[in-house]
Each structure stands twice: as C-alpha cells, then as structure tokens.
A = this chain, B = another copy of it.
Amino acid sequence: MDDRKVGVLGGGQLGRMLNEAANRYNIRVNVLDTAASPAKQISAHDGHIEGSFKEAEAVRKLAQASDVLTVEIEHVDTDMLEEVSKDVEVEPHWRTLRIIKDKFAQKKHLMDHGVAVAESRDVAGADEEAFKDVGKDFGYPYMLKSKTEAYDGRGNFVVKSEDDITKARKTLGNRPLYAERWANFRMELAVMVVKTKDGVLTFPTVETIHEDNICKLTYAPPRKVSKETAAKAQELAKKAIGAFEGKGVFGVEMFLLKDGTLLVNEIAPRPHNSGHYTIEACPLSQYDAHLRAILDLPIPELGLRLREPAIMLNILGGWTPDSHIQVAKKAVEVPNASIHLYGKGDARPGRKMGHITLTAPTMAAAEREIQPLIDAVDTQKGKSLEAKETPKDEPLVAVIMGSDSDLPVLRAGLQILEKLQIPFTTRITSAHRTPDWLREFSKSASDTSVRVIIGAAGGAAHLPGMCASWTQLPVIGLPVKATHLDGVDSLYSMTQMPRGEPVATVGINNSTNAALLAVRILGATDLEIRERLRVWMEGNEKEVLRKDRELLEAGWQSYLEGMGK
C-alpha cells in the first residue's frame, strides 16, 4: 500500500497493535526494542533494531532503516529525534514530543493556547515553604506530579494536608515536580484525536475508569453524559491537539467537573489505552488512523464513528504469573468479547497483559456481559468482589399520564410490557397543571434510552399531542374515558392533531393495544422483540382456536352454561 518503512520507538502492546494494522496494509514497520518484544513477535523481517528507545545509537540505526519515525511512548530522547529529523520524517514532530514528555511544559503550552487545564505551579527544586504556599493557594488535597517519566500513577502524590508534604517530597525524591490544583471531577473522559496533514479529526468521546491510577475500563459512549457534553469534549480535545505540530493520533484525557466544566488532564502523543476499543467498535482503529495520518493516506471521517456501544477492560496482571490467562479463559465463554493478549510472558501485579473489548447493541447489555470478566480481573488481583446490582436495561418506553386517575386504565398495558420484558418508566406529566415539566420531559426524552412514548389522557386530552410537538419520538395516544362523552372527546383530541405532529391513537381505554403498539414499534428494528411478540400472538391464536374446538364439541348451550351466563 505504501513502500515507505515506518520506524517505531518502542515495541510494547501499542507497537504490537500498530503492527497488527500495518500487517493488513502490508506496510513494513521497523521496531526498536528488545528482541522478543510484543511488537516484534507479530512482525517477522530483518529490519527491526535491537536496543532501547533511549539509546542514541539505536535511534540513529532505526532512522537509517526507516522513512518515517514514530513513537509508542513519549519518554524518548527528543534531542536524538531532532538530530535524525534532518534525514527522516518524525511524526509527531519532535518539538511536540519534547513539550508533551514534560507534563508541566505540556500544561503551560496548553494554557498558552487557551486550552482549559487544572491550575498548576512549578515547584521543581523549591523548598518546603513553597509547597506549603501551594496548599494555602490551591487548598488541600492537591496533586504533586513529576514533570517527566510519570505514567500509570508513578510519579504522582496526593498531598492531603500540610503534614503530607515531607513524605511527598521524600517519596518523589529528586524528580522535577509541579503542583496541580485538585480537580473535583465527576468523571474522567477521553478522546482519541487524529492530526493529519489537512486537519484534526476525532474519534468519539469515551468514559475512562482508573483504579490504582491505572486505566481499568473504557466506556464508549460515556454513561450518563449528555450528547452536548460529549461533543464539547471532542471540541476541547481538537483544540488541544490543534496546538501541536505534526501528525498522528493523540490521546486526550479530561476531567468532567461536577459543575460541567471540562479540563484537559493529560495528552499522549500516540495511540492510547483509552483508544483500544476502536479496533472492534469503529470502522477504523486508532492504529489504522495513526498509520494513515503519518503516511498521508486518506482517513474518511465516517471511519472514526462508533458502530455499537463498547466497553474495554484491561487485563491487568494479578498475583499469579498466569492471572491474565485465567481472565482470558473466562472471556472465551463470552460471545461478544474480543480478546487481545500482548505476548508479555508472565504477569506481574498491575502490568498490562492484554485487554478485552466487548460490543453490544446497548450499553446495558454490554455491562451485563462484561461484569463476570471485571470480576475475574478483580479476583486475580485479590480484590474482594462488591455485590453489584445487575445493570438494568434503561427504559425503552416512557408511559406518561395526565393524572394518577389514569393509572388503573394503564394497568393492563403495563402488565403486557412486563410480560414481554420491555423496560419502561411511568411518569405523571399533566399538560395543563405541569406544562413546564411536560415540556422538559418531552424535549429531553430523545436524549435518553426512550424510543417510544405512550401518553394516556382523558377529556381535552392534550398530553400526547403536546408531547409530540416537543419531540421527534413516536408518541402513542391512549384516550381515557372521562365522565362525559364516553371518551370520544379524548379520541378526537388525539387523532385530529394538525398536519405535522401525529399522535398514534389506539382505542378508548385500550391500554393493551397502546402497549402492544409500542412493542411493534420497537420490534420494527429489534428482531428479538419482534420474535417475542410473534410468540405471544401465536399463544392468543391457539387460545381462540381451543375455545372454538370446545364450543364445537360442547354445543352452544352447554358452553354458555360453562360461562355462567
């Protein structure tokens, strides 16, 4: 596909998965690392370089053997990269790597470009007093971080009070330090960004869960985050990476604060743990995108979209050397789990030995399916399993009523939904007594898991019609028979909606049919639900046929008697 040879500094799991992508394109990747490193195991040719990505001579050799250099880790010798960049393309740019590998320089660079980050202060070489001043200004707790060589929590210290300062300084030793204001975050988000010769593209926003400072889980899309926030995170990530030179994928880790603010936490100038899910969940993976970006091959934007909700679980080493194997053996029993082992030999506690990506039609289904594997990882690390609630499917149907007096009419319909295992929610939203609440409910419904709304109302019965005016979801109207007019008033109010905002009206008081219509609507695309409905209808058919046989055999008089009529 491309004759140019790519040289990569580092041959761990990221280099390995980069090779996996390169193999399919028949692109030659020269790996600089030890002989049997994970990346080299799946790439058999004589262009690899043996050595460390920190050795100048080895980097020089790699440069000579390659047309484009890239990295799987940022803790590289950027002076060396600057030197070889005269002869070979380095992506991303060595200046970008130099800035990013120093976390304080990275923060300053982002601030200079107007990117929101947590407030930070240089305390490298400062005396005890300066650390106390930070506490006075930032409050406690605050973070102490090493500017360099810090990852997976190593080189970080949480200073909880003034008393911690001595211990913190001792623990972090002679590292060059900076202090960071504590980010009181609700959750952590991440976005993989692709910088090409033509511009900046992004993969979807994901939620990341860290444990012991190591990424444990990634949820795509993030749970309980609005589309607006997810889009804002993508914009922030784009802005952050737009501030750097060069091409390739970048991981942008962010804090979502409790007040909704987004702050960039850290940037990785390379494929990233939070982007592994893309291998199965997007048409193009982060590794495809990285190769294409550095080689100026096309990246159609639609290739970066999420096909299906996905969860990535790291297989972290536990207390036994085969702990990762034990997890993998559980994972082969899970139909939707894709297993990636990195070929690292024996496990050590906390070591990234592999990962599992699970995709499913809904996030709740993915959560249910992956839970035994999360438990397996926890068991291997000796963590006691918390009793967790099985994630419930989020409601597909919202049943709203103008008044609780409509609830008895709804009973039969709700029983049908339960019988056919359709998750639903019931709410009281009066069109006339709580018009603002109905408006709020209707406007936000399509941002939730709800796909169909049933609105029950009597009399003027404006509820479903008003709801339909504020949403694009299908709204089913259930006319309830009120004191006068036998329910015809409600029926007309629902069917006779003006052109533009239809209400799917069923018979007066017939909540069974309202529920069954909702099931049919869901079953229009969900074949499993459709099958449940088919079986249910078949049951009804058999029941009527049974009665017919009985009537034929017993005769009408005896049958009537049996009915007690």
Tell me the A residues contacting B by CB distance below 8 Å: 1, 20, 23-26, 40-45, 283-284, 292, 297-298, 300-303, 305, 307-308, 325, 328-329, 332-343, 412, 446, 451-452, 472-476, 479, 491, 495-497, 499-508, 510, 512-514, 516-517, 520-526, 530, 533-534, 537, 540
Q: Which residues of B contact A343 (CB under 8 A)?
A: 23, 26
Question: What is the minimal beta-carbon distance from A258 to any residue of chain B, in angstroms?
Answer: 29
Residue from B45, B337, B514 in contact with A502 in the complex, judged by beta carbons closer than 8 Å: B514
Complex CA distance for A325 and B1, rounded to whole angstroms: 5
The answer to whether B24 and A341 have CB atoms under 8 Å apart is yes
The answer to whether B472 and A495 have CB atoms under 8 Å apart is no
Question: What is the minimal beta-carbon distance from A416 to any residue of chain B, in angstroms?
Answer: 9
Residue from B292, B337, B500, B507 in contact with A512 in the complex, judged by beta carbons closer than 8 Å: B500
When C-beta atoms are compared, the residue in chain B nearest to A40 turns out to be B44
The answer to whether B472 and A501 have CB atoms under 8 Å apart is no
The answer to whether B517 and A504 have CB atoms under 8 Å apart is yes
The answer to whether B504 and A506 have CB atoms under 8 Å apart is yes
Question: What is the minimal beta-carbon distance from A387 to any residue of chain B, in angstroms?
Answer: 26
17 contacts between A and B (CB under 8 A): A23-B42, A24-B341, A25-B328, A25-B339, A25-B341, A297-B332, A298-B332, A298-B333, A472-B533, A473-B520, A473-B530, A502-B510, A504-B506, A524-B524, A524-B525, A525-B525, A525-B526
Question: What is the minimal beta-carbon distance from A49 to any residue of chain B, in angstroms?
Answer: 14
Q: Known contacts A451-B524, A497-B510, A525-B525; can you find 13 more A-B pairs with CB under 8 A?
A: A292-B332, A297-B332, A307-B308, A473-B524, A476-B504, A479-B495, A499-B513, A502-B507, A504-B505, A504-B506, A504-B517, A505-B506, A521-B524
Question: What is the minimal beta-carbon distance from A533 to any residue of chain B, in angstroms?
Answer: 5
When C-beta atoms are compared, the residue in chain B nearest to A330 turns out to be B298
Question: What is the minimal beta-carbon distance from A366 to any residue of chain B, in angstroms?
Answer: 12
Question: What is the minimal beta-carbon distance from A485 to any residue of chain B, in angstroms?
Answer: 14
The answer to whether A303 and B335 have CB atoms under 8 Å apart is yes
Q: Which residues of B contact A328 (CB under 8 A)?
A: 1, 25
Question: What is the minimal beta-carbon distance from A187 to any residue of chain B, in angstroms?
Answer: 24
The answer to whether B283 and A336 have CB atoms under 8 Å apart is yes
Question: What is the minimal beta-carbon distance from A490 to any residue of chain B, in angstroms?
Answer: 11
Question: What is the minimal beta-carbon distance from A363 to any residue of chain B, in angstroms?
Answer: 15
Q: Which residues of B contact A475 (CB under 8 A)?
A: 520
Residue from B20, B337, B508 in contact with A20 in the complex, judged by beta carbons closer than 8 Å: B20
Q: Which residues of B contact A514 (CB under 8 A)?
A: 502
The answer to whether A506 and B500 have CB atoms under 8 Å apart is no
Q: Which residues of B contact A43 (CB under 8 A)?
A: 41-42, 44
Complex CA distance for A332 and B120, rounded to whole angstroms: 42
Question: What is the minimal beta-carbon distance from A293 to any residue of chain B, in angstroms?
Answer: 12
The answer to whether A302 and B524 have CB atoms under 8 Å apart is no
When C-beta atoms are compared, the residue in chain B nearest to A506 turns out to be B502
When C-beta atoms are compared, the residue in chain B nearest to A413 turns out to be B499
The answer to whether B495 and A507 have CB atoms under 8 Å apart is yes
The answer to whether A502 and B520 have CB atoms under 8 Å apart is yes
When C-beta atoms are compared, the residue in chain B nearest to A344 turns out to be B26
Complex CA distance for A381 and B476, rounded to whole angstroms: 56
When C-beta atoms are compared, the residue in chain B nearest to A530 turns out to be B472
The answer to whether B25 and A338 have CB atoms under 8 Å apart is no
Complex CA distance for A308 and B361, rounded to whole angstroms: 11
